């Protein structure tokens, strides 16, 4: 089915369109650009935008009135997004007005832009047109999953906790979709976008380094042109919206969470409210602290992509030191897919993929790579990270061996009173927080679950006894000399 892209708000068209236009249009476009930009027309479009990044809001607004062409550059929304984020400085964003430019103008007390008449000639620019194109193009992932399917369970009458552990946790585990397991939460009616906005529209939620009022985020999700868009991924929902916790329950398969032995002040972040519009989601990652996770879709739809821990996804570059915690991946899922990596995944024998609807619960085993895409106009979910007894050895090893990589303890990084000197860097503070978490978990296990601790330590001891020294993995094996008889 043919996909129609709406007209750009500034009348900009892609540069490639010029190749199919008559000479008269090409001449008129070049004349229009030169007349509108003057001597600045000698610069290419990317350099013009880079130069405008150094202007303040007042100067940009003034420049926008100089000509229709300067107006298209000066109102380029990426410029105003950067200014809006600087204004908020990680705090609350101003009310969303349909674009970053309009949002900043309104925050400064200005009036909304009046509709602009069509320019006297056409303006062609890939730099200005590309964000608009990406926001309105069909998903590069296609309408349906192409890869091998994640296993799904619909009948839970024969899946008790022991069967779940054997089928989906043992030997590194395997993702699974538990279809309809969260239907009671969906049926409560508390999780629709309309219900959330009506009850909590003025509440503030965290979204990737910034904060939105919920009502503003819903408007942003419906009308932004960002790639990728901001995504509400808020670990404070238990404190900010405790009444929501009554509208879902932890599925029985995940209730034996050993981090529950810690109080909320000790345990790392583990519970999130997730809310996103189209194109939002998470790029390739593994869950922190060697935990497993479950995710309940409550409204909308999600697409899930998986690789086992032993397979690094295409397009992801692990760190040189090979510690598994640091890696480079494209920030934008759409950018990653457009580079051809999704098609590469779909042909990989270890790749898995699925799509979830309201009421479905996805289990993500520890260490599994996964990417998540939000598909609907609004997708709402809750997610928990947890430590099952089978996952305890991995968590203890992670906290013991690499405490500096602990995640979800940012609220504890401000204070460190261990040792004669206070930690002076974020790395030192994080390592101290990781060590404290390890010690608190071990102490709680000794009191409440000594058997689970003993089993985990036995697993770690067996692994250590058979482990290959790290230096051997860095030095290539010497090839044995070829054998030959010699009678000399």
What residues contact 147, with CB distance under 8 A and at least 6 apart?
305, 345, 346, 348, 351, 352, 353
Interstrand relation of 271-276 and 232-234 (parallel, antiparallel or unpaired): antiparallel
Question: Domain coordinates of the chain in residue numbers?
Answer: 12-136, 151-256+270-386, 401-417+424-467
Q: Residue 269 pLDDT more than 90?
A: yes
- Alpha carbons 285 and 275: distance in angstroms, whole number: 18
Residues 6+ apart with CB under 8 A from 192: 299, 380
**pLDDT higher than 60, residue 372:** yes
The mean pLDDT value of the chain amounts to 90
| Residues 86 and 107 sit within 8 Å (Cβ to Cβ) | no
- The whole-number average pLDDT for the span 221-226 is 93
Instruction: Look at residues 430, 433, 370, 382 and name the one whose alpha carbon lies nearest to residue 205.
Output: 382
pLDDT at 200: 97
Q: Which pLDDT score is estimated for 264?
A: 86
Statement: residue 32 has pLDDT above 90:
yes
pLDDT at 476: 56
Averaged over 172-183, what is the pLDDT? 97
Average pLDDT in the 435-455 region? 97
Residue 463 pLDDT > 80: yes
- What is the per-residue pLDDT across 188-221, written as a single tens digit (0 to 9) for each? 999 999 999 999 999 999 998 899 999 999 999 9
Distance CA 244, CA 248 (A): 8
d(C-alpha 403, C-alpha 432), whole Å: 7
Q: DSSP letter at 81?
A: H
DSSP for 211-249, written as a single string: EEEHHHHHHHHHH---SSPP-EEETTHHHH-GGGGGG--
How far, in Å, CA of 457 to CA of 300, rounded? 42
pLDDT at 421 over 70: no
The pLDDT value given to residue 416: 42
Q: What is the mean pLDDT of residues 21-41?
A: 96
Which CATH class for the 151-256+270-386 domain? mainly beta
Residue 470 has pLDDT above 80, yes or no: no
DSSP string, 160-192: -HHHHIIIIIGGG---EEETTTTHHHHHTSTTS
Three-class DSSP labels, 337-368: HHCCHHHHHHCCCCCEEEEECCCCEEEECCCC
Contact yes or no for 433/439 (Cβ under 8 A):
no
**pLDDT digit string (tens) for 377-414?**
999 999 999 999 999 999 999 999 999 999 988 765 55
Q: Is 67 left (phi over 0), alpha (psi -120 to 50) or beta?
A: beta
State if pTM tops 0.85: yes
**Residue 21 corresponds to which tokens in the numbers above?**
């236009």
Task: Give mean pLDDT, residues 470-477.
Answer: 55
pLDDT band of 90, cuts 50, 70, 90:
confident
pLDDT band at 467 (very low <50, low <70, confident <90, very high): confident
Note whether 118 and 12 are within 8 A (CB).
no
CA distance 87 to 100: 12
Does position 428 have pLDDT exceeding 90, yes or no? no
Burial class from Cβ neighbours inside 10 Å (0-12, 13-18, 19+) for residue 457 reads: middle
Answer yes or no: is pLDDT of 485 > 50: no
Q: Which of 126, 123, 134, 133 is nearest to 71 (CA)?
A: 123
Q: Is the pLDDT of residue 154 over 80?
A: yes
Summarised one tens digit per residue, pLDDT across range 158-177 is: 899 999 999 999 988 999 99
To the nearest whole percent, how much of the chain has pLDDT over 90? 79
Q: H or E stretch including 22?
A: none
Greater confidence (226 vs 427) lies with 226
Mean pLDDT of 346-370: 97
- pLDDT in the model for residue 139: 93
Asked whether residue 478 carries a pLDDT value surpassing 90, the answer given is no
Q: Which of 104-118, 316-330, 409-423 has the highest mean pLDDT?
A: 104-118
- Residue of 345, 342, 310, 315 whose CA lies nearest to 331: 315
**What pLDDT is stored for residue 327 in this prediction?**
81
- Examine the pLDDT at 119 and tell me if it is beyond 80: no
């Amino acid at each position: 089915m043919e996909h129609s892209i709406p007209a750009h708000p500034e009348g900009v068209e892609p540069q490639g369109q010029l190749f199919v236009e008559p000479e008269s249009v090409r001449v008129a476009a070049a004349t229009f650009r030169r007349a509108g930009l003057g001597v600045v027309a000698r610069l290419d479009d990317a350099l013009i935008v880079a130069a405008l990044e150094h202007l303040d809001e007042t100067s940009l607004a003034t420049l926008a009135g100089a000509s229709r062409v300067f107006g298209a550059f000066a109102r380029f929304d990426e410029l105003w997004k950067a200014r809006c984020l600087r204004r908020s400085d990680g705090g609350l964003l101003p009310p969303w007005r349909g674009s970053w430019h309009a949002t900043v103008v309104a925050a400064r007390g200005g009036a909304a832009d009046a509709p602009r008449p069509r320019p006297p000639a056409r303006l062609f620019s890939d730099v200005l047109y590309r964000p608009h194109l990406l926001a309105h193009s069909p998903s590069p992932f296609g309408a349906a999953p192409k890869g091998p399917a994640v296993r799904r369970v619909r009948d839970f009458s024969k899946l008790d906790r022991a069967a779940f552990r054997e089928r989906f946790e043992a030997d590194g585990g395997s993702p699974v979709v538990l279809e309809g397991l969260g239907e009671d939460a969906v049926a409560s009616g508390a999780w629709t976008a309309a219900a959330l906005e009506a009850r909590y529209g003025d509440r503030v939620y965290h979204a990737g380094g910034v904060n939105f009022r919920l009502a503003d985020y819903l408007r942003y999700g419906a009308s932004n042109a960002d790639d990728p868009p901001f995504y509400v991924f808020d670990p404070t929902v238990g404190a900010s919206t405790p009444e929501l916790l009554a509208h879902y329950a932890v599925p029985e398969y995940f209730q034996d969470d050993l981090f529950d032995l810690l109080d909320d002040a000790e345990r790392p972040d583990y519970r999130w409210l997730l809310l996103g519009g189209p194109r939002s989601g998470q790029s390739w990652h593994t869950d922190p602290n060697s935990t497993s996770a479950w995710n309940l879709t409550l409204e909308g739809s999600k697409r899930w992509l998986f690789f086992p821990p032993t397979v690094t996804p295409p397009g992801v570059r692990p760190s040189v030191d090979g510690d598994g915690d640091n890696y480079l991946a494209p920030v934008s899922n759409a950018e990653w897919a457009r580079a051809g990596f999704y098609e590469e995944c779909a042909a990989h024998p270890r790749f898995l993929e699925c799509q979830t609807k309201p009421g479905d619960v996805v289990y993500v085993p520890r260490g599994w790579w996964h990417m998540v895409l939000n598909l609907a106009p609004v997708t709402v979910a809750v997610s928990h990270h947890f430590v099952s007894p089978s996952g305890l050895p991995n968590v203890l090893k992670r906290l013991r061996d690499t405490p500096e990589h602990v995640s979800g303890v940012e609220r504890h990084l401000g204070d460190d009173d261990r040792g004669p000197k206070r930690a002076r860097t974020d790395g030192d503070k994080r390592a101290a927080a990781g060590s404290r978490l390890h010690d608190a978990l071990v102490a709680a296990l000794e009191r409440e679950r000594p058997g689970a601790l003993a089993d985990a330590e036995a697993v770690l001891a067996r692994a250590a006894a058979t482990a290959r020294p790290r230096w051997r993995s860095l030095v290539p094996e010497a090839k044995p000399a070829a054998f030959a008889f010699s009678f000399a």
